[in-house]
Copies of this chain bind each other. A is one copy, B any other.
Amino acid sequence: MSPSHKLCMIPGPIEFHEDVLQAMATPATSHVAPNFIPALGESIELLRKVLFTSGQPFIIAGSGTLGWDMTACNLVEAGDDVLVCNSGYFGDRFGECLETYGAKVTHLRVPIGESPQLAAVAAALKSKKFKAITITHVDTSTGVLSDIKGIAEVVKAESPETLVVVDGVCSVGSEEIRMDAWGIDVVVTASQKALGAPPGLCVMGVSERAIGVFKNRKTPVPNYYANWNRWLPIMNAYEARKPSYFATPAVQNIFALNVSLKQIVAQGIEKRFALHKEASAKAKKVIHDLGLKLVPTSLDHAANGMSAVYYPEGIAATDLLPKLAAHGIVAAGGLHVEIAPKYFRIGHMGISVTEPERGHLDATLNALKASLAECGYKGAL
Contact = CB atoms under 8 A, between A and B. Distances in A.
Interface string A96-110: 110011000000000
Given A68-B224, A72-B224, A250 B28 contact: no
A328 interface: no
Nearest to A221: B100
B248 A12 contact: yes
A15 B28 contact: yes
A66 interface: yes
Contact of A61 (B22, B32, B62, B246): B62
Interface stretch (A128-136, A147-155, A192-200, A310-318): A192-200
Summarize A's interface: helix, strand, loop or mixed.
Answer: loop
A228 B62 CA distance: 15
Interface in A212-263: 220-227, 245-253
A138 interface: no
A15 B222 CA distance: 36
B248 A63 contact: yes
A76 to B, nearest CB: 12
Given A248-B64, A249-B199, A251-B13, A222 B100 contact: yes
A124 to B, nearest CB: 23
A343 B323 CA distance: 61
B190 A248 contact: yes
Interface string A59-91: 001111110110011000000000000000000
B252 A198 contact: yes
Q: How large is the interface on A (under 10, 10 to 19, 20 to 34, 35 or more residues)?
A: 35 or more
A14 interface: yes
B250 A200 contact: yes
A100 B252 contact: no
Interface stretch (A1-9, A48-56, A176-184): A1-9
A199 to B, nearest CB: 5
A375 interface: no
This chain: copies in complex? 2
A251 B256 CA distance: 14
Contacts of A370: none
A96 B200 contact: no
A264 interface: no
Given A65-B225, A224-B72, A30 B10 contact: yes
A220 B96 CA distance: 12
Contacts of A221: 100
A96 B224 CA distance: 8
Interface string A322-350: 00000000101001000000000000000
A281 interface: no
A192 B248 contact: yes
Given A192-B248, A200-B253, A250-B250, 18 more contacts: A1-B27, A13-B251, A14-B28, A16-B28, A22-B25, A61-B66, A61-B199, A61-B200, A62-B247, A65-B247, A69-B223, A69-B226, A73-B223, A100-B220, A198-B252, A198-B253, A199-B251, A200-B251
The list of the 10 closest CB pairs from A to B, nearest first, reads A200-B250, A65-B247, A8-B28, A63-B247, A97-B224, A25-B25, A198-B252, A24-B24, A100-B224, A21-B25
